[in-house]
Each structure stands twice: as C-alpha cells, then as structure tokens.
Structure 1
Amino acid sequence: MNPRVSDIIASALIRHIDTFFGLMGNGNAWLCNALEESGHGIVPVRHEVATVAAADAYHRVTGRLAAATTTYGPGYTNTVTALAEAAMARTPLVFVVGSAPTTGHRPWDVDQAGIAAAVGAPTFTVSADDAGTVTIRAVAHALAERVPVVLAVPYDVGAVPATEDGQVIPDLPTPPHPPELSAADATTIAGMLRDARRPLILAGRGAKSASAQLRVLAGTLGADVATSAPARGLFEGGSGYRDLGVCGGFATEFAAQQIHAADVVLVVGAGLNQFTMAFGGAFHPDATVVQIDLANAATHARVDEFFRACSSQAVREITVRLGDVDRPRVDKPSVPEPARPEGDALAPDGRLDPRSLMVRLNRILPKDKLVASDGGHFIGWANMYFDLPAADSINLLGTAFQSIGLGFPTGVGVAAAAGERLTVLVTGDGGGLMGFADAESFVRTAHRGVVIVFNDAAYGAEIHQYATKGLREEPMLIPEVDFAGLFRALGAKADVIRRLEDLAAFEQWVQTGSRGTYVLDCQVSPQIIAPWMCEVAGL
C-alpha cells in the first residue's frame, strides 16, 4: 500500500523542520500519527493558539523554521490571533491544519483560506497527487517571503494513499539572493554618517546577522547605538561607542534625550513600530533618518531615505567606504549608573514596588537566560531591568498585533528552544489567566523555568489609560488569584511574594541549579506606573 498523504507531508516537513507544536483533533490525527511514527512527534499544547505562538517563538530564538498543527474549524479559528502576530512580525512558520473535505463545505466549516488571507498568511492545499511537492512549496514560500503559511489538508485526503506523483518530495529550491546595497548608495550613506555631528545607529532583530559589522561601524564612527526592545544586547562586546540601550518607550529618560539629539539616524533591521518610535517622538524633527531593511518600502513615515538590502552586506559596504572619520567630536556624558530608578521596598499601598522587585530579581537571575514576556502594563519591567546577553534573549510575542494572553504559549516555544538555559516567563494576572491553559505546557516543557506573575488584581494598562480619565474601574479589576496555588497543582514550586525577603527560597533554588519550574506570584502595587505607560496615557 502506498504511504498516506499525511505520511508524505510529515516526511517532507522533517527534512527542514525539527520541532512541531500541536494539538490533535479530527483534521490532523493522521499527521500527528505520522510524526510520532517518524520519531519526531509533537510538543503537545493545551490550547490551539499555543501551536502557532510557540512555533513563532521558537523561530525567534533559534532562527530555525518550526511547524504548528491543529484540526479544522474551531481548532483553526482558535489560532488566528497568533497567526496574525506571526504575519505582522514577519515570522516564517508552517501551520498544518485540517480543512473542509474536497466534496464541499460542511455546516461547521468556515472559509479558512479567507481568514488566513485576511491576516496576511497564504494557504497551500495538498492533494493525493501533489502532497510532497505542495508541502515543499509551502516551506520555500515561508522562508523566502518571511511569512507564516497555512498548509491545508482536506478532511478526506489526509488518510488516503498518495499517488506516485504525490509521493515525490522535491529538493527545497535555492532561496533567492537577498538584495544588496549598491556601491553608490553605500558611498552616499557613508558620507551622511561621516558628516554627522551626532550619528546614531538603531538596530532591530533584522540586524542580528550584522551584529559584528555594526559594532565595527559604530566603533569607527564613535557613534551612539540603540536597539529595538527585542534586539537588546546586540551591541554587547564592542568598544568605541556609547550604548544607550532601547530606543522608544522602554528607554531611560537620559537615553531618550540623547537619542533625540542625533542628527543622522541609521536604522538597520528595525521595523520602527510605535513603541520604538515613542509614538513619533523618538527622533528630532530635523534628524535625517536612513533605513536599511528587507521590507519592500520604508516601514515608517519618518524615514527620509530607504534602501532595500541585506543588513550584513550593507553595513560591510558602508564601513569600507567610510574611511578615516575626521569630524568634530561632541562631548557626550556617560550613561549614568544606576540607569533605572531602584524604587522602594514597598509601594505606598503596602504592596511590592515592581522596580525594586526587578532590581532584586536581576541580581538573583543569571545573565545567560531567555525571557518570554506577555503584554500588558508590566511589559516594560523585564526589558528595562533585566541584563540580557544578546538580541532575541527577550521574546515579546504579541507586540506586533498588540495582543495580550500569549505569554504562556510563547514560553512553551522559548522553553523548547532553550536547551539547558534558564527560561523566564513574565506575565500579568490578566494575560496570564487568558493563556493559563498552557501553563501546564510550560511546566512540562521547560528544563529550568521561572514564571514571574505581576499580580496587581487588575488590567493595569486599562486602569492607567482609562480609569485616570474617569471611567468606572469595575470592568478593569480582577479578583486576587492564587497563582502559586494553581501552579503547585501543576507540579511546580511556587511562592507568593509580598516582600523582597520572600525571595530567599527562590534565590537558593537558582544558586543550586535545580531543575523544574519555580513560580513567583508577585503581589505588586497598581500605584507604580511604568514610564512607557505614562507616555501612552499622557500622565
């Protein structure tokens, strides 16, 4: 008997993908079985949204393609928030999903291809005659276009034998050569940087491959450097430049002032979203903003000159043409220490001050860690206070689509990628409750995991944006949830943290290198407002 269509799909995928996140149902049962029989299997999750979110997070950490799989209908629609995030963040992944049978839609079927197209993900549909070829075509498209793709398996196709043509699994096509910066354009940009009095280099996740070249360029210029939030750590290990940290809402007041003083800003591999741009106020109105990116056009209206090019090649060419820099040096103050407010032991209401909490946690946790953060009022604390070793050491999945509730699903993907490294998952009580189905997935997947819950018994972002404008607080409040108790039921160690002294047992756990997951249910004050939230809310 010929191998089933699902067997061919699995065989084609495992040539290029080593990790699969899935939740089994009617529409993908044969695929899950084929993966198990191949020796790969899936990382099981408990809610469908986590399949796509975990695959996205895994790619952001490793740079390798991952796959997600669910059943059709509600299993599919449950993933749409994560699928939209992946599309907006330009994350390549393959989402294998059951779909309506070839005989036509059943009463419970929806237009899955239309939904995918609406969020920016193309759909490839297999048949018994082309299963291997279409699967490889989907993989190639995801990698070449840097997008999530949906690989649809009709309900009446997955278990049938593949034809001889359907069993063919072609080689992956040679990827298109990335666009290069021309010599003339490199000379132009080099001239701008050479003539600048206060050049600034801003790098994002898209510049990871150019990190070494960027450090050389920055050192040659004596420039200031900054990064987008997830690219923190990209300039670690260099010299001859001043590292201002994160650009935008998570910047310190000092760094924001220095970034605003730049007269030429070279942006490499950063999308310039509203947070990086400090809602339009990051750069001086007279500054010249030059962007190098693989996008087809400038990603923000503030960009004056856009060049579509591979970051590593472009930066190398600019550096070659820069030559000796002989321009007036501007006296710049050194970055102050401590760069962040250390806060008080307790806030005026007697609950934890998140600033002093993060200072203490940063001293306890090793620098070599991977951080996954959900969205919400607390999102800036980890990025502002944690030492991070390299770009993508912090995963802020959800920010492109401005979603909360993807923290635990993100943590699963980060933990799967972490190996022996410590995975730290940061969430709030609101977003944490949204994604709690995959708290068990995180506890099971993490070799060494830490969960930090900023528990303020409220949707803090809404409190600070809308209660301050006179709206009633009741819809924004959450009953005090015992996250420590919930996690103990899942097999994790857990403490309720009401004072900094309550961290003593956790500190000992970190120092002994113990395995498993440790949960810190931190009872933080809603009265301490993050600087980025003050900016958003106009406080």
Structure 2
Amino acid sequence: MPTVSAHAAVTLAAHVDHVFGLMGNGNAYFLDALARQTSATFTAVRHEAGAVVAADAYHRASGRLAAATATYGAGFTNTLTALAEAVQAHVPLVLVVGDEPTSGPRPWDVDQIALASAVGARTYTVGRADAAATTLIAVEHALTYRVPTVLAIPYDVAAADAGPVPDVAGPRLPAPLPAQGGFARAAVREIADALASARRPLLLAGRGAWLSGAGATLGAVADATGALTVTTALGRGVFPRPEFDLGVAGGFGAQGAMELVRQADVALVVGASLNQFTMRFGELFAPGTRVLQVDVAPAATHPHVGGYVRGDAAGVAADVLAALDGAHPSGWRESVDVAAARRYDPGEPVAPDGRLDPRSAAARLAELLPADRVVVSDGGHFLAWANMYWPVAAPDRLLMVGTAYQAIGLGFASVPGAALARPDATVVLTTGDGGGLMALADLESAVRVAGGRGMAVVWNDAAYGAEIHVYGRQGLAREPMLIPGVDFAGLATAAGAQGVTVRSLADLDVLARWSARPPAQRPFLLLDLQVSPAVVAPYQEEIVRANAANAAHLGHAASTANALDAARAVPVPAAPGR
C-alpha cells in the first residue's frame, strides 16, 4: 500500500519536476517514493543549505516551482540561512523535511515549526489521512504568496500505509491584482499626464515588472513618452530598447548614468521596492523630481514617492499606455549619449600592490564569457564586478542568491539549480574567497551537475572585502578580516574541474579556448583570480559614506540632546517599571 510519504511525493511531483536534497532518516521514504512512483528528478547536493539554494536558483532561472528536502533535526537546521534568503527574496519553493514523531519530541528533536516561523516560513504537517491534501495546500501557499513553505513528515507516520493516492485538484491561485476604483483610475491618469508633460521622463523597473510580464508594455510607454529607462539589479534586461537604457540604478550604476537619472523631472517606478541600495541612500533622484510608483505593496515603499498606484505591474502599465494615446515623445533620450553615460572605469591591468585590478579583469571577462549565459552571484564585496561589467539578456539571467538576506556562502549550490533550469546555457558563478570557502561542500555538486556548461570566477583577495572596507577604515583589528591564501584552482582540480590560477589579464585567454570547445568535451572551469583588495567597488564607497553620515547625524542628535538636558537640568526618565 502507498505510504504517507508516497502521498506527499506523488502529490508534490504533480507540480514540480526537480527536487534537490540529501537523504536522511526523516526523508528516506519520501525519496524512495519520489524515485519509484513519480517522474520528478532528484539531484543530490552535499549540504542541506545547498538543497534550498539549488531549488531557489532553479525557480529564479526558470520561473517554475522547485522543491528541496532534508531530514529532521540537524538536517533541517542546516537549511535555515538558505530558507531565510528564499523568504526575503519572495521565492516560492517547498522544503520537505522529516520531523519529530506525533508522540512527542525525542532528545535530538527541536521545535522545527518555531524555527521555520522565525525566518518567515509556514510549516504544514502531514498526517495519516490528509498527506495529499496537506501537500497541495503547501504548494498553493508557496505559489500564492511567493514564499517558501515547509512540508513536515512526522517520523512515526512516514512509512505508514495510507491507501491509494487520491486525485487532488490543482492549486487555486489568485488573479493579478487590478488597480480598481476611482482613486486608482485617477492616479493612472495622473501618471500618464505627468509622463506626457515631462521634459525628462524616466522609467525605473524592478524584478516585479519582469515577473508580471510588463517589460514590452513598459517599453511602449517609454517610446510614447521619450523616456530613458533604468532598472534595479534584479530587473536588468527587462526593457526592450537597450540603446536607451541607463543600466542599473544605485551603487552598481555608472557615474554618468546616475547623473542622467538625477536630471529626470518625472520618474515612474514599476515593480521595484526602492531599497536603500537602489536609492543610493536617498540620493538617486534629485530634489524636485516627481516620483510615482506602481507596486503590489499596500503603500508606497519610499518617502520620496509622491504618487502611488497599487496593482499588478503589467495591468497598470497597460492602463498608463492607453491613457497616453496621442502623447508626443519628449525627445530627451535622443539628445543624450547613453553609451558614454554607461561606461565604467576600465581600471588598470595590475593594481599598485601587484595583484589584478578587478575592474579590468571584469571587463576582459565580459569580452570572453559565452553569450548565452546565466550568471549566478554569491554575496560579498565582489558582487559589484559582475553587476557592473557583465551584460545579461534578461532578469532571469542574473541570479543573486544571498543578497536579500545579506548572506554569503550560497554560490556553489546555486549552480546545479541554474544548470538544470537552463540546460542549454552556460552557468557562470561569481563568488569571493570567503563565500567560496563557506560553500565548498557543494563545489562537487556544481562540477558534477553543470559539467562543461558551468564555470566559476573566484575573486580571491585573501580577505573579507566588505569588512576590510568598512571596519578596517575605522581602525578595527584587521586579522579577523583576512583569509590566508587559498588555492581554489587546486581545490577545483581535486573536485574534477579545470582549475586555473589567474594573475594577469593574459591568463584569462584560457576562457576563450575553453569556450571554443563543445560543452560535452570540456570540464567545469574555475578561474581563481588573484585580485587586489585595495580596489573598492563604488557601491561599497556609498555604504561607507552613508554610514559616516548616519554616525554624524546620531552624534549631532546625541550632542544636542545632552546639551538640552544639561541646560534644563532634567534627567531623561527611565521606562516605566524599571
């Protein structure tokens, strides 16, 4: 008879085609049923965090739901950082885990429901009579709210007979959120009028615009108004006219492009949350710019927004385009040299310390990388180089797994998910030495799954770069920020890849030779770039300036408060009850 685990596996496999994970006591029967009774593919990784990361990357690259699985206890707790990242990044996936018996916890069990809830994930626990229905609810919740869910299988029911697997209806998903009501219609009209009358209109789109399929319509809005366009880091490639696109807004943007953004008199923001990095800590737009926003959030997401419409990006964009009927383009975008504005500092072949300048290395890599590529990025100081110098064709061709939760060490495990989601593309991982060491367990997974369709660029500066540039400048002890030299090329070779140490731009020519070979006839390639820690990414300089400004503001506020307290001779009261 089919088991409870089989009910979960068969129901889940109706909605996913890939499951990533490790086998353990808590999920052994689930994986057995998945292999024997479904057509879903299981891909093993070497660390439980890697299971969630791979499923996360699979979704970001394909748009399809994926699943991860781990055992109970230590297996589950190993997933928490990756699970938190998926929650923060609004990635729908289902994590199937073992859990404590229904009779109560054993000495090695922990409160997994509480732990999942602490990072924002809801848990659904299957029983003997409802495993299929509960699995469907977990799938529906993940897809409806664009979050990961945890599907728990108690240890004592995992192998219990549950009868034939029932036919379960598919998940019911909500329709795109329309902009309804008189206020919304008036706001759409206001947006159209503002864009039509603007002398220097600008459109800024984020990942939300891509997910809703608004790219083509927003391109038509830009054509109708003569607007320049710009995107968030996760929205790169969403606009159809690259000749009028300024690239990435925020610290990854070119200086000339950001100066043009500040010239805009009207800016329409679509599907972008306007976080502090996109907004350059409040400096993206000039004072006086009229900022209008379209999003599904309950209210505007930044205080600089002066007009807001809540609704699906594609639907509202279509409404705005219809309201622009008869509008005349401003002519602004034809009057500026967009290509010149988007140029980045080319750097020098070698930095003063004798190591590679990461800017020139990134620019040379952009010339050599396969055109049909998916870039997956770990977190860390280095992530600027790929975002600044490597073009991507669409938002689903750049996956930044880890940045939502500001985590590092999720890079190598991203490669299997991206490789299986995009089997015809080359997956290019960009990672640092600190994150690379943290993720080392799944170097083998990347090499095994991607093979000749995968490569990694390790920006090896023998340091935790972000800490060096923030806290090193403050005079804090540098020793905890340093990493002894690590031979990543040797580690890659040991895992079955081709590892190459890169100390000069000429050493990068190996990539041209590798790219010329058919994927089936070449191994995974890892380039160990010996880069200088002295070259600071512009976005990191913005963070340093913002931190200094905040510190000065707090210091001034504290000084003012102390002066007032002294003048009034009134002590600051303690909280009641203390």
Work out whether the TM-score is over 0.5: yes
Alpha-carbon shift at residue 468 of structure 1 (Å):
1.2
Q: Could you say which residue in structure 2 is the equivalent of 1:115?
A: 115
| Equivalent of 1:519 in 526, 547, 550 | 526
CA contact (8 A) 1:367 1:387 kept: no
- SS at 2:284's partner residue? coil
* Distance apart, 1:329 and its partner CA: 4.6
Q: Deviations over 1:203-242 (max 9, x none)?
A: 1111111111111111111101111112211124467xx2
Contact kept, 8 Å, 2:225 with 2:330, in 1: the verdict is no
Q: Which residue of 2 aligns with 1:250?
A: 252
Tell me how far 1:459 sits from its aligned partner: 0.5
CA distance in 1: counterparts of 2:80 and 2:417, whole angstroms: 17
The aligned amino acid for 2:18 is T
Of residues 499, 504, 521, the one that matches 1:499 is 504
Spell out the pairing of 1:4-23 with structure 2 (5 A cutoff). Answer: 4-23=3-22
The separation in 1 between residues aligned to 2:139 and 2:512, in whole angstroms, is: 44
Which one-letter code corresponds to 1:50 in the other structure? G
TM-score for both structures, normalised by structure 2: 0.89
Indicate the residue corresponding to 1:535 in structure 2. Answer: 542
Tell whether the 8 Å contact from 1:130 to 1:168 is kept in structure 2 after alignment: no
Partner of 1:385: 389
Q: Structure 1 residues 7, 496: closer, same or farther in 2, change over 3 A? A: same
Unaligned runs of 5+ in 2: 549-578
Q: Indicate the residue corresponding to 2:177 in structure 1.
A: 179
Matched-pair contact (CA < 8 Å) for 1:269–1:292: yes
Q: Residue 52 of structure 2 aligns to which amino acid in structure 1?
A: V
- 1:197 corresponds to which residue? 199
1:258-291 CA-to-partner distances (Å, cap 9, x unmatched) read 1122222211111222221112221223223222
Q: Of the candidates 307, 312, 318, which is equivalent to residue 314 of structure 2?
A: 312
Q: Return the letter of the residue paired with 1:517.
A: F
Moved more, 349-358 or 228-237: 228-237
Identity fraction in percent: 50
* Offset at residue 461 of structure 1 (A): 0.7
Question: How far is the alpha carbon of 1:308 from its aligned partner?
Answer: 2.1
Structure 1, unaligned runs of 5 or more: none
Q: CA deviation at 1:330?
A: 4.5
> Which of 320, 331, 336 in structure 2 is aligned with 1:333?
336
Matches within 5 A, 1:369-380: 369-380=373-384
* Aligned partners of 1:18 and 1:66 also within 8 Å: yes
Name the stretch that deviates more: 24-33 or 37-46: 37-46
| 2:411 equivalent in structure 1 | 407
In the TM superposition, residue 368 of structure 1 has moved relative to its aligned partner by 1.8
Amino acid at match of 2:512: E
Change (3 A) 1:301 1:170: farther
Q: Measure the CA separation in 2 of the matches of 1:206 and 1:53.
A: 21
Q: Write out aligned runs for 1:34-433 (5 A).
A: 34-37=33-36, 38-163=38-163, 167-182=165-180, 183-208=185-210, 209-237=213-241, 242-326=244-328, 329-330=331-332, 332-337=335-340, 339-433=343-437
Cα shift readout 1:371-410 (whole Å, capped 9, x = no counterpart): 0011111011001001211122111111111111111122
TM-score by length of 1: 0.96
Is residue 288–residue 304 contact of structure 1 (8 Å, CA) maintained in 2? Answer: yes
Contact in 2 for aligned 1:344/1:353 (Cα 8 Å):
yes
Instruction: Return the index of the structure with the highest Cα Rg.
Output: 2
CA distance 1:452–1:149, shift in 2 (3 Å): same
SS at match of 1:372: strand
- In the aligned structure 2, how far is the partner of 1:481 from the partner of 1:238? 39
- What do the CA deviations read for 1:122-142 (whole angstroms, capped 9, x no partner)? 111100110010101111111
- Shift, 1:89, TM fit: 1.1
Amino acid paired to 2:248? V
Q: Comparing both structures, which one devotes a greater share of its residues to helix? A: 2
Whole-Å separation in 1 of the counterparts to 2:196 and 2:517: 51
Mean CA deviation greater in 422-431 or 305-314: 305-314
Separation (CA, whole Å) in 2 of partners of 1:18 and 1:300: 38
What is the CA deviation profile of residues 126-164 of structure 1, one whole-angstrom value per residue up to 9, with x for unaligned ones? 001100101011111111111111111111111111156
Distance 1:200 1:69 in 2: 44
Deviates more, 1:258-267 or 1:418-427: 258-267
Which residue, 484, 491, 508 being the options, matches 2:489? 484
Aligned residues: 534
- Structure 1 counterpart of 2:268, one-letter code: L
| 1:274–1:280 Cα contact (<8 Å) kept | yes
Does the 8 Å CA contact 2:22/2:44 hold for their aligned counterparts?
A: yes
- Greater CA drift, 407-416 or 286-295: 286-295
Q: Which amino acid is 1:173 matched to? A: P
Instruction: Name the stretch that deviates more: 264-273 or 7-16.
Output: 264-273
SS of residue in 1 equivalent to 2:529: strand
